Amino acid sequence: MTAVHPDAEARAAAKQPRNLLDPGFELTLRPMRYPDFYERYRDAIKNTWTVEEVDLHSDVADLAKLSAGERHMIGRLVAFFATGDSIVANNLVLTLYKHINSPEARLYLSRQLFEEAVHVQFYLTLLDTYLPDPEDRADAFAAVENIPSIREKASFCFRWMDSVEKIESLQTRADRRRFLLNLICFAACIEGLFFYGAFAYVYWFRSRGLLHGLATGTNWVFRDETMHMSFAFEVVDTVRKEEPDLFDEELTRQVTDMLKEAVEAELQFARDLCGDGLPGMNTESMRQYLECVADQRLQRLGFAPVYGSENPFSFMELQGVQELTNFFERRPSAYQVAVEGSVSFDDDF
Ligand SMILES: [Fe+2]
Ligand SMILES: [Fe+2]
């Protein structure tokens, strides 16, 4: 299918306002077509944090206390974190920035790119602290090729990046659907499921009084990722309003299958991390958690949930409350402006 999207052609002929996915590099900010994206950019700036604020000292003493199973889990987590945010940042630049044609959205994406860089720096610092041996550090970066449970997740990401690689501009309905699938994949499956799974292991350690430095940095990464996902879903909502015909049964099936595949990939990672199970953390409880999160993502996107699972991790429900508390405690010293209720975690647990 190579024909220009008929709506785009008609709008161009009539000089009507463009849609968000119409190709080009829109520059006009007044009048502002997408003020919500601009407000999200401004809100994100209020949440600035730096890696230097995270104190990892007590983690080093904790690492020495871990059992062999726990050490294995942390090694795998660090290896996943080593490359995860770089993959997201690459997709942001190569695909999202290119095709979401709104200067307001591109402001937000510029800010998100900075946040992904801070995440990469945080995980690099974590890796340098947790793995003193240079060979172990190199192995962590190579995990994306050498550790099957991490390679599987990476190849899932790369497949969805490759699916849009050759699209120069979103001319056709088929192009737009492929772009939407990439956007939904990175928000719902990667930031919204793979990363949430990883955060659950971190908060499981914290619930046992361990690795507070990692948990502190994770609180801030978690908040950023929640906002990245929320922005992406708002883009999906906007496209749905502008081009409802893109959201048909086929897209519903594709998104649902994609989420199921992401749950399976994350479960393979869980089997690797949990082995025969640790107190309060095993593959079965992680399965329930991932299914519950996947259902939430589907529902947020307007699709039917498929699993009907409950969240088994009370420490993740607590996380919503604690994170908000930390957020307000930190506000006087760390944030430039009052929050005004722009951050809510309630919907994501
Ligand atoms: Fe990130
Ligand atoms: Fe992100």
pLDDT of residue 348: 44
| Burial per residue of 99-125, b for 16 or more beta-carbon CB atoms within 10 angstroms, e otherwise | bbbbbbbbbbbebbeebbebbbebbbb
| Type of residue at 121 | Q
pLDDT band, residue 277 (cuts 50/70/90): very high
Determine the distance separating the centroid of ligand 2 and the alpha carbon of 221, expressed in angstroms: 8
Q: Does the pLDDT of residue 339 top 50, yes or no?
A: no
Measure 200 CA to ligand 1 centroid, in angstroms: 15
Ligand 1 centre from 50 Cα, in Å? Answer: 13
Predicted confidence at residue 11, as pLDDT, reads 60
CB under 8 Å to 85, separation ≥6 — which residues?
Answer: 116, 119, 120, 123
Neighbours of ion ligand 2 (CB under 5 A): 191, 225, 228
Mean pLDDT computed over 7-11: 64
Which residues contact residue 153 at a Cβ distance below 8 angstroms, ignoring those fewer than 6 apart? 80, 194, 265, 266, 269
Residue ranges per structural domain of the chain: 57-329
- Please state, in angstroms and as integers, the Cα–Cα distance from residue 180 to each residue in 206, 238, 241, following that order: 36, 12, 14
Q: Is the Cβ–Cβ distance between 189 and 258 less than 8 Å?
A: yes
Rounded to a whole number, what is the distance in angstroms from the first to the last CA of the chain? 40
33 Cα–ligand 2 center, Å: 24
Please tell me which of 12-16, 193-197, 341-345 the model is most confident about, judged by mean pLDDT. 193-197
Which ligand is nearest the CA of 44, by number? 2
Tell me which ligand sits closest to the C-alpha of residue 108. Answer: 2
Q: For residue range 181-228, list pLDDT tens digits in order.
A: 999 999 999 999 999 999 999 999 999 999 999 999 999 999 999 999
User: Can you read off the two tokens belonging to residue 223?
Assistant: 């908040």
Model confidence pLDDT, tens digit, residues 250-259: 999 999 999 9
Which residues are tagged catalytic?
A: 123
For residues 45-71, average pLDDT:
97
Q: Given the structure tokens 């928000």, which residue do they identify?
A: 187
Give residue 276 CA to ligand 2 midpoint distance, Å: 31
Please tell me the predicted confidence (pLDDT) of residue 6. 64
Q: What is the mean pLDDT of residues 245-250?
A: 97
Both tokens assigned to 33: 């077509």
Bridge partners (DSSP) of residue 278 are 281
- What's the CA-to-centroid distance between 91 and ligand 2, angstroms? 10
- Please name which ligand lies nearest the alpha carbon of 91: 2
CA–CA distance, 119 with 102 (Å, rounded to integer): 25
Q: How far is residue 275's CA from residue 278's CA, in Å, rounded to a whole number?
A: 8
pLDDT digits (tens, 9 = 90+) for 133-180: 999 999 999 999 999 999 999 999 999 999 999 999 999 999 999 999
Report the CATH number of the 57-329 domain.
1.10.620.20
pLDDT of residue 345: 43
Ligand nearest to the CA of 187: 2
**Mean pLDDT score, 312-320:** 81
